[in-house]
Structure 1
C-alpha cells in the first residue's frame, strides 16, 4: 500500500526529503507552507496522512476531527514532553524531531491503518459531529478521536425530551440533587444548545458558561480533572452537594459545543464524579444535511453526542393530549438518530384535569395503543406549587418542597429502582396525604 502524504514545516534532518528518497510505503505529494494550506489539501482528497513538523501548537481536537472525517491521520513531530502529552490527548500520533525517515514512515503507516480500522468499526453508525451533504447519504465512518481519553468509572445519565417544555431541566436538576443526597459524587452538565436554563433554575451566576470553558480546554488538549473541578460551580443542599457545568445562554454560541470536545469533557467528568447527569437539548434533526459543506459542524451535535455516550437515557414527555404525541414522534426520531439509546419513558405533569379521572390508567392504556412499544418507566405528578417555589428560590425540590409529591416521585425513580413499578406515584401520594390527616 502506498500512502500519499502532505507535510508542513521542516525538521532538523529534513525528514521530508528522507521520506521522498525512501521510495517506500509513503509518497510526499505536497509540501505546504502553513497549516491552513495543509488542511485544504487534505480536505480535497489529496492525501491520507499529514506530517506536521512546525506549528503543532495550532492543532486542536476539532482540526484533528475534521481531518479524520475525510480519512486523514496526523503525525506531529515534537520533543516537548508537555506538547506531546497534549497532542496525544487530542488524537495526534507523535514522533521525535530526530526520528529517522524509516521509523517515521512506519509511524505514518500504522496511524493510517489504525484510522481505517476505526472506520470499519464505525461502519453503518451515525456520526453526530459533522453534517452530511444530503439526507440519504451515510455519515462518515470515522470515529472522533476523543475516545482516546481514558474512560472514567462514572456513569452518564442523559435527560432528553421533545419540544414543548416537558420538564427536562426540572427532572435533570432534581435527579442530580437526589443522587447527591445519597452521598454520590455528582456533576450536572447543561448541554442544551438552544435554551440552557440550569444556571437560572439554580440561581447561579452564569457570567461565563462552564461547559463552553471546558470544551475550549478539551479542544486544545488542556482539560484535566483538576481544571474541570475549578470550572464546575458547586451547588450545596441540606443533604449534599454537586457540581454544575452551566450551559450557553445565547443560542448563537452553539458552535462552541463541538461533539469531540464534549466527549472529552464527559469522559473527564466521569473521573471526578460517580454520576454525570446531562440536561440534553430537544432537537435531534440533522439540520445541516442540506449543506454543501460536509465539514460543517452539526447544530445538534451536543444533544446527539450526550445521548450516544449515556449509560441511561430518560425520555421526558408532558402527560397531556399535546405532549404524548410529541413524545411518540420524538422517540421515533431518537431511534433513527441514536439506535442504541434504549430510552426509559418518563411522563411528567400527570394530573386528572388533562388525562382523566384515573390519569395513570388512562395514560397507560393510551400508550399501549399508540406508543412505540416500550413501556412507561414512571409517572411524575404535576406539582405547580412546588415547582414555582423551587424556581423562585433558585433551589431544588429537596430544599424548596421536600415533602412534595413530585420530589418523592423523582427520588423513587433514581434512588430506589425496586419501587419504580410498585405503587403508583399519584395514588401513593394520595394515600400518604390521607395518612397525614
Structure 2
C-alpha cells in the first residue's frame, strides 16, 4: 500500500512531478501552493507525509509538531548546509534538491516508519488521520541521527504544586541557589504560564521574558548553546552563580510557550548545564477539553511538558487545613495527567498555629490515614521573617538568612539522595550545601 503524500513548491527539474509518476511506495495526492494549505490537507487526514520542495525556511518546530501529532512526517528539500542543520534541529528529514525520485521516495518511507515507531498510535492500522485528544505532541520527525539530543547530561528538577501559593517559586529559586552553592552549573527556568514571578523574587528588572526568547529561537531551529547562555540572565550570590530564563511578563503571552519549542529548549539546556530547575504552573487541565481545536496552542503545555521531561518532580503544598486537601486532590490530578511521574511530596509553611502541637507528627499521621499512597518526604518550616527579608532585598535565603531553619530545610532536601524514577536523579555530595566565603 502506497504512502499518500502532499507537496508544496516546485523543486529543480520538477522532482516532485517525477515523484508523482514514480510507481513506488509513495503516491502524491495533492500539490499545495503554500504551507497553510498543506497543513489543512494534513489535518484533514489526507496524507501521511509532506514534502516541502520550496519555502523550508517557513518550517518551525511548532508546525512540525502539529503535523507529527496527526501522523504526518515532513521531508524538506534544500541545498543549504545551514538550512539542513536547522531543519534537523526541529525534527525534519532534509534532502538536497537534486536527489533522484527513487531516493526521495525511500527517504519519505523511512521518515514515515520512524514517526510510526516513535508513537504506536501513529501506525497505519491505528491512524484515523486525526489527533488523539489526549496526546501531548512532540517533535518526532526525522531519523534518530537527525533529532535533537533529548537526553544530554543535565538533569531536570520540576517544582509543581496546586493553586493557592504553596511556595513553588520560593522552593525552585532556592533549590537552584543551593545547587549552585555546591559548585554545580544550574539553570532556573520560569515556566509558569499564569503568574511567572521568578524575576520579581530575584530582583531582576527583566521585561524581555528569557524563556519566550529561547522558545522563539528553538522554534526556528536557531537555539545553540551560545544563544541559550546569552539569553539566560546570570544571578550571582556569594555562594555561587546560576542562570535564569525568566518567565513571560504578562499572562496573556502564554501562547509563546509552545510544548515543541520548550522541549527543544530543555534538550539544549541539558547539554549546557548540569541541573535545570523548573518552576511550573499549577494547572494540569488538558487544554483539548477546553477547545474544539485539538491543534490550538495549549495554555498548560509548558507545565505538562516540564513534568513529562523531568527526572525528579517535587510536589509542594501548604501545611494547613486548606493547603493539604488541595495537595491531595492535586496529586490525583498529577497522576492522571502525567502517570509516569512519582513525585516527592513536600509540605511547606509547617507551623504549630495552623496544625497544633507536634505539627510534623500530626501531619504525617493524617497523611498516612487519609492521604494518597505517595509518602511525605519533607517538611519545611514556616519562616516568614526570613522569607520577607529575602523578598525585600531581592535575594535568596542563603544570603538573606543563611542560618534560618527554612534555608537549612531546602538545602537538606535538594542535596539528599532523591527517589529515582525511570531516569536518574540529582545527587549531592553532602547533606547541606557549603556556603563559600
| Residue 144 of structure 1, CA deviation | 2.8
Within 5 Å, give how 1:103-252 maps onto structure 2: 103-120=103-120, 139-140=134-135, 143-145=138-140, 148-150=147-149, 151-252=151-252
Cα displacement string for residues 150-183 of structure 1 (whole angstroms, at most 9, x for unaligned residues): 1320100000000000000000000000110011
| Residue 97 of structure 1, CA deviation | 0.5
Contact 1:62 1:261 (8 Å CA) reproduced: yes
Contact 1:194 1:281 (8 Å CA) reproduced: yes
Contact 2:134 2:288 (8 Å CA) reproduced: no
Q: 3-state SS of the aligned residue for 2:119?
A: helix
| Residue 121 of structure 1, CA deviation | 7.7
Contact 1:119 1:141 (8 Å CA) reproduced: no
Q: Structure 1 regions of 5+ residues with no counterpart?
A: 124-131, 419-437
Contact 1:49 1:75 (8 Å CA) reproduced: yes
Q: Residue in 1 aligned with 2:328?
A: 328
Q: Residue in 2 aligned with 1:266?
A: 266
Contact 2:79 2:96 (8 Å CA) reproduced: yes
Q: 3-state SS of the aligned residue for 1:14?
A: helix
CA distance in 2, matches of 1:193, 1:96: 40
Q: Residue in 2 aligned with 1:55?
A: 55
| Residue 287 of structure 1, CA deviation | 3.6
| Residue 120 of structure 1, CA deviation | 1.2
| Residue 12 of structure 1, CA deviation | 1.1
| Residue 142 of structure 1, CA deviation | 6.1
Q: Residue in 1 aligned with 2:8?
A: 8
C-alpha spacing 1:141/1:257, structure 2 compared with 1 (3 Å): closer
Q: Residue in 2 aligned with 1:288?
A: 288
CA distance in 1, matches of 2:214, 2:195: 19
Q: Residue in 2 aligned with 1:352?
A: 352
Equivalenced residue count is 407
Contact 1:7 1:16 (8 Å CA) reproduced: yes
| TM-score scaled by length of structure 2 | 0.90
Q: 229-238 or 5-14, which moves further after superposition?
A: 5-14
C-alpha spacing 1:69/1:389, structure 2 compared with 1 (3 Å): same
Within 5 Å, give how 1:386-405 maps onto structure 2: 386-405=386-405
Contact 2:115 2:140 (8 Å CA) reproduced: no
CA distance in 1, matches of 2:218, 2:408: 37
Q: Residue in 2 aligned with 1:79?
A: 79
Contact 2:66 2:137 (8 Å CA) reproduced: no
Q: Structure 2 regions of 5+ residues with no counterpart?
A: 124-129, 419-437
Q: 3-state SS of the aligned residue for 2:299?
A: coil
Q: Does 1:65 align with 2:60?
A: no
C-alpha spacing 1:141/1:247, structure 2 compared with 1 (3 Å): closer
| Residue 335 of structure 1, CA deviation | 0.2
Q: Residue in 1 aligned with 2:427?
A: none
